[in-house]
Structures are given as C-alpha cells and as structure tokens.
A and B are shown apart, each in its own frame.
Chain A
Amino acid sequence: MADAHAALTRLQFRDPERAAALVRALHRVTAEVRREPVAIMHVCGSHEQAIARFGLRAVFPRSLDVIMGPGCPVCITDLPEVDEAVALARQGIRLATYADMLKVRGSALSLADVQAEGARIDVVYSITQAVALARKTPSEPLVFFATGFETTAVATAAVILGDPPPNLSVLSAHKYIPPVMAIVSEMPDTRVEGFLAAGHAATITGWGIYEAFVARHRKPVVVAGFEPLDILAGLVRLVELVRDAAPEVANMYPRCVTKEGNLQAQQQLWRVFRPIGGRWRGIAHVPNGNLRLRDEWAGVDARRRFEIDVASLWDTAPPALVQQCICGDIMAGIASPRDCALFGRECLPDSAVGACMVSSEGTCRIWHQYGGHPDLAALPVDPYARRA
C-alpha cells in the first residue's frame, strides 16, 4: 500500500485562498452568460464526491446547475448484467467482485441476497486480488464480476493479457464513458450545455477523444481533476466556453492528462475488449457503451465458459418499493434525489432501495452523507470572527 505521505502531498491542491478567488471568478463568468440557469454536467462519481465533501455547492452561483450524470459505475451496471452474476453464483460458481456490487439489485435479487442463501462470493479490492484467490484454489473455477469504466477496464485487460490462472474467468460489465455523453446530449429533456470530463479516465483516453463529440454536439468539454482547485478552475473554464458559445475541448488537468493519453493502456484495452451497444441502468441503450471480451479471449469469458441460467430468476419478483425508485432519472440529470419519495426515508445507505444509494459514488449516497444542496453559506455565524 502506498505510504501516507503520498496522500498528504495531494493536500497542496487545497488552498482556500486560491479557491475563494476561483469562486469569485465563477460567479462573474456565470453572470456574464446573461441567462439562467446555466446547466452543466459532470460524469464522474469522484467529482461529485469532491464537490460534496468540500462543500462547494454552498458557494456555487445560484444560477449555475452542476448536475451529476451517469458517473457512478456501480449505479449504471444494468439489471441483466447483475442478473448474470446472480445466476452464476446461484448455480454454485464462486464469484469475486467489489463490495458495492453485492448490494445492487438485478431484476429481483442482489448478490447479497444469494450470498445469504449460501452462494460463495468474495469481496475484492481489485482484479489482482481475484487472481490471487484463483491461484490459491486452482481446481475450482472463479468468476470475477468486472464492473467500472475504462479506468478499471484497463486493469482487467492487463490481467487477461498477463497469463491469468486457467480457473479464472471474467464476467465483463465494463462501460465506456464517451458514448454516453452523446446520449445525454440528445435526450429531449436535457438542459446540459457543457460537460466536465473525468480527469482519471482522460489520463487513459487522452483529451483528444472528446474533439469528435464537441464537433458533432456543439457542446464544450473541460477535463478536470479532483481537488477543489481543479474542479473550480474546470468549472470557470467550462462556463467561459458556454458564455462564448465556443464548443471546444479544454484540458484543465495538464499535470496528468495529454491529448493522446496512455497509448499502451489504450492498446491493451482494445486488444481485449470490443465496444458493443447495451443498456445503462436507468439511462438508455448506449451504442458502444458496453465493453465485452473479444472472441480471442473466449477462454477467459464467463459468458462462453458457463451456461448462465438467467431464466431461473424470472419467477422472483422485486420488492414493491423498487417501483418508486427514480435512480434512472437522477443519473440522466432530469431529477435530483430531492424529487424521490424514498430518499432519506425508506432508502438509506444501510437499506438501499436504488443503486444510487449503494455506492459511495452514487448521487443519493453522496447527498445523504453531505446534505446535497445545503443552503449554508448565509448562516449567521462567522467561525473566523473570533480570531483577533
């Protein structure tokens, strides 16, 4: 594990004085757009985490809507994909996956439900841990339920290319972010005028990948990092581009992101995966939004190695509350957790109804933890006043 000093060095991007200057700039450029509200979308749970954790929503201009889009990998993993994992586990195949995936429901059941029935599911932090598990019990098949965006897909690809143990298979539910931005832009109800793109995904894909999107959809894209200063600077630049009606890509994370990205990682990604169309939970069918293993890797592909009996789940009905869940609209940026009748009542982190309350990157979970859009800037106390 990395040492704590590395984590401490990240703190240098947390200078409140510089943040205050950026907040003033954000208010100025938002006012210069001369209409309201201005709506922009980010597509990354880590961005929402940082915005919420540092309380930035309390200082954003009221006329700026910063919407979280489909950026939580746990949330957008679709029902049929969870069903495949649930069915496999029920068939007695041992599974390994991330902890948050246990609590996400498929069409009726979650992996936690079948684990309680006796299915064997190991929680892992990364695919390399799944590899180690598979090596320990070479005579027993182990399926890694692989979820996440291109960032984690690259890790899966590296393992598949690196001679994995023969008893390990991969059930890929990996997703690819760039195509979903097009889908959100084309939604009839969308108010989104620009996108804040995730810095860590762009370290792999490069910022150049967004040029085609910008040319076609005439909406600016700004690549930003995850510290408060990164996010504020990214938003200032994005609103400037909206103000100037300038559809272009700006890279505000140059310390990590280049135009070309990590070519070796891209090569690994596309050698192992092919993009296919598929549904994202609650959003829509996303052309080229799902990553599946290429034919060449059939020997590692759980879908080809096992007969997955998804039909066995069809006679189980989902809990009635699920009908009221609006996670889909929340992820599409059409609704907010405040619009949900279950939020903070029946749906809580320890008894989540919808996927958005499960993951620490889900919008509802983050809002529950940090208070969503608290209007706290104007409290009649100045904590600094006591300093002489």
Chain B
Amino acid sequence: MSHTSLEERIALKHGAGGRAMRALIEQVLLDGIAPGSWIGADAMDDGAAIRVGEQWLVVTTDSHVVQPAFFPGGDIGRLAVCGTVNDLAMMGATEPLGLTCAMVLEEGFSRESLLAIHASMRQACAEAGTTIVTGDTKVMGRGEVDGIVVNTTGVALTPAIVRDAGLQPGDRIIVTGTIGDHGLAVTAARHKLGIEGTLQSDVAPINGLARAAIAAAAAGGITAMKDPTRGGLASALHEMAAKSRVGIVLEDRAIPISDAVRGAAELLGIDPLHVANEGKAVIGVRAGEADAVLRALRGHALGRDAAIVGTCVAERPGLLVLDTGFGRRLVAEPEGEPLPRIC
C-alpha cells in the first residue's frame, strides 16, 4: 500500500504523523510483535487494551518534545498530561487511574522553568481528574538533549472500548471544536513570525468531553474516535478511513476554524487540515445519534464549537474527499511537518 521505503537514516518526517512515520512503525518497530487477543501495538490505535475480568485495561504512552517548551496557551508539562489522558479517552477510557512521568533534562535547564512545567502538569491532572503516581528523572549533558523531554504513561479501566476503525457508510463525522490552533500557535512562536498574538494552543484534557459524547449516544452509537494531533485532522481521518475501509466526504465550510488560524494559515500557505490539535477529538457517530452527540458536546465547555463536518461513504475506501463549496478534491495524507511556503 505504501511505496515509501525506509531510508538509511531516520529523518524528521518519520516523526511527523504522516505516511513516513507509519512506514517506520510498520517496517521496523512492529517487526516480531505477534497479534494477540488484546488490542495491541499492531492495531496502531491510540493505546493498547488488555482484558481484565469484565473490563478493559487501557494503556498508552507518549514522549513529548516541543520547541519552544513554553508556547501561547500551554507548555510541555500540560501537553504531556493532556496527550496521554486524551489517548486513553479516545479508546473510551475516560477515567484515568493515574499517570507516570519520566523526564530527561538537559544540564543547565532552569529550575524556574521546571517548577512552572511541574505546576502546569498538576493543573492539567486536576482538570482531567487524575494524578501522577510515579516517575523517573534523568539528566544528560549539555547538547545531548534539547532542554527537556517528558514521557507520560497512563492507565485506565473501561467496560467498552472505542476503536478508530469502526466507521461505516452513512456515519457522520463530528469535530469537537476549532482545528489547527495548537500547531499554528507553536509554529508561530518557534519561527517568531510576528503573528503570535492572536494564536493560542488548544491543549486541554478532553476525557470529560469524550465521556459526555459517549453518554449521549446509544450503545454502539459512537463508531470511532481519534484525537487529531500530529498530521492534523487530515491525518486522523485518513487513518480512520483506511482502517474502516470507508470513504469520507468532508464539507470544508462546516469545519470550525478560528479567524486567527484561518488568517495565519492563509498567510503561511499551510493547510489547517494538516495542523496539530491537542484538545480536540474526531468522532464517528451513527447518523441517527449525531444530533444528540452534537448537543451533548456543545453543552460542554470544551465543545462549544463542535460541528458535524462530514459523512462516510462506501465509495473510494481510504480516501478523503473535500467538498470545498466550489468543487471537490482529494485531501492528501500529510508528508511531514507543515512549513511556511518559501516563494
């Protein structure tokens, strides 16, 4: 399916959430991992799920590196907690039992920054209704690591798993709020583009939001969930469409995008569909449940801008079609980190 073969050395694109990253995982990291009676790494879902009695134990892990570590709307600490809480939530496990936190610090990292990062981890844990239960700290020499790397692992129990592969023709696609906020805020801050003022990362724990959506739907009403992080909405939907073997028709005008993001993306030549989010979910819903789920989401503080943005079709499985309002086109899977256009 993928024509990308792995090169001799790892490149940045192998971590950008697109096709190259998938090739790396499929060709190297999954080698020798046998599928079992659990949902494991081979499913390439947001986390793993292991049967424990009548329940599922969901486990997920994520290492966080972000430059700059402090960005408008958040920092690496908040990101590390939310990233893991949200991955659990996207499997239907919305009540995390606890998180672990492993930090790798660069010699010379400021104590003040570390305190600020720790404080925002505590704050994010409080918002998510969880806590950090154990951790590990390593310090590396100057230049051996860039400032700080934070790894978090999370565990949660849930009676029912939500996958990212259950979409069926006719299902509606809901996005829980404006897209592109996190990636553009960080890009603008990193490259000092002079447009930072209006852009804010959306980084937030969305387990409460996911819980509201699940509660509003009848059993089986939610067919898939995913958080559109690296690679943005396009990457998340591509993955869901490919795994579910459906086509997805997206309606451009229905996709919520803030004026600040729309303006900045237009200016930089970046497609907001390819830009990372850290406080949003993409939810596949049976058509009959869509309105109820939408109402529940909009009643939640983090879901006020939720919208139905697309429909699944049996035709063109694995493809993403964008109805632009003028015509229709395909949406490509992102290749790497979106960068401002050059000329």
Residues of A within 8 A of B (CB): 1-8, 10-11, 14, 16, 19, 23, 52-59, 98-100, 123, 125-126, 148, 152, 228, 344-346, 348-351, 360, 368-371, 374, 376-377, 379-381, 383-384, 386
Residues of B within 8 A of A (CB): 3-4, 13, 20, 172, 193-195, 198, 247, 249-251, 253-254, 259-260, 262-264, 266-267, 269, 290, 308, 310-311, 313, 315-316, 321-332, 335-336, 341-343
| Cβ-closest chain A residue relative to B312 | A381
Asked whether, in the complex, the Cβ of A19 is within 8 Å of the Cβ of B325, the reply is yes
Known: A379-B247, A386-B172. A7 touches B263 (CB 8 A): yes
Asked whether, in the complex, the Cβ of A349 is within 8 Å of the Cβ of B343, the reply is no
Q: Which of B260, B266, B325 has the most CB of A within 10 A?
A: B325
Asked whether, in the complex, the Cβ of A1 is within 8 Å of the Cβ of B266, the reply is no
Q: Which of B311, B313, B316 has the most CB of A within 10 A?
A: B311
Asked whether, in the complex, the Cβ of B343 is within 8 Å of the Cβ of A148, the reply is yes
15 sampled A-B residue pairs with Cβ under 8 A: A2-B267, A3-B263, A14-B326, A23-B327, A54-B324, A55-B329, A125-B342, A228-B326, A344-B3, A350-B335, A350-B336, A374-B330, A379-B328, A383-B251, A386-B290
Total A-B pairs in contact (CB under 8 Å)?
Answer: 132
Asked whether, in the complex, the Cβ of B326 is within 8 Å of the Cβ of A8, the reply is no
| Cβ-closest chain A residue relative to B249 | A381
14 more contacts with CB within 8 A, not counting A7-B264, A56-B327, A381-B313, are: A7-B263, A16-B253, A16-B325, A53-B329, A55-B328, A125-B342, A126-B343, A348-B335, A349-B335, A350-B4, A377-B327, A379-B247, A381-B311, A386-B308
How many angstroms from the CA of A386 to the CA of B174 in the assembled complex?
13
CB contact between B259 and one of A8, A14, A348, A383 (< 8 Å): that residue: A8
Known: A55-B324, A345-B3, A348-B3. A374 touches B329 (CB 8 A): yes
Asked whether, in the complex, the Cβ of A374 is within 8 Å of the Cβ of B195, the reply is no
How many angstroms from the CA of A126 to the CA of B267 in the assembled complex?
16
**Interchain residue pairs A-B with the least CB separation, the first 3:** A4-B263, A371-B330, A55-B327
How many angstroms from the CA of A16 to the CA of B253 in the assembled complex?
10
Task: Provide the residues of chain A in CB contact with B251, threshold 8 Å.
Answer: 383-384
Task: Provide the residues of chain A in CB contact with B335, threshold 8 Å.
Answer: 348-350
Shortest Cβ gap from A186 to chain B (Å) = 30
Asked whether, in the complex, the Cβ of B326 is within 8 Å of the Cβ of A56, the reply is yes
Task: Provide the residues of chain B in CB contact with A54, threshold 8 Å.
Answer: 324, 326-327, 329
Asked whether, in the complex, the Cβ of B328 is within 8 Å of the Cβ of A4, the reply is no
Task: Provide the residues of chain A in CB contact with B260, threshold 8 Å.
Answer: 4
How many angstroms from the CA of A56 to the CA of B324 in the assembled complex?
9
Task: Provide the residues of chain A in CB contact with B343, threshold 8 Å.
Answer: 98-100, 125-126, 148, 152
Asked whether, in the complex, the Cβ of A55 is within 8 Å of the Cβ of B4, the reply is no
Known: A8-B262, A380-B313. A55 touches B326 (CB 8 A): yes
How many angstroms from the CA of A3 to the CA of B311 in the assembled complex?
35
Asked whether, in the complex, the Cβ of B330 is within 8 Å of the Cβ of A376, the reply is yes
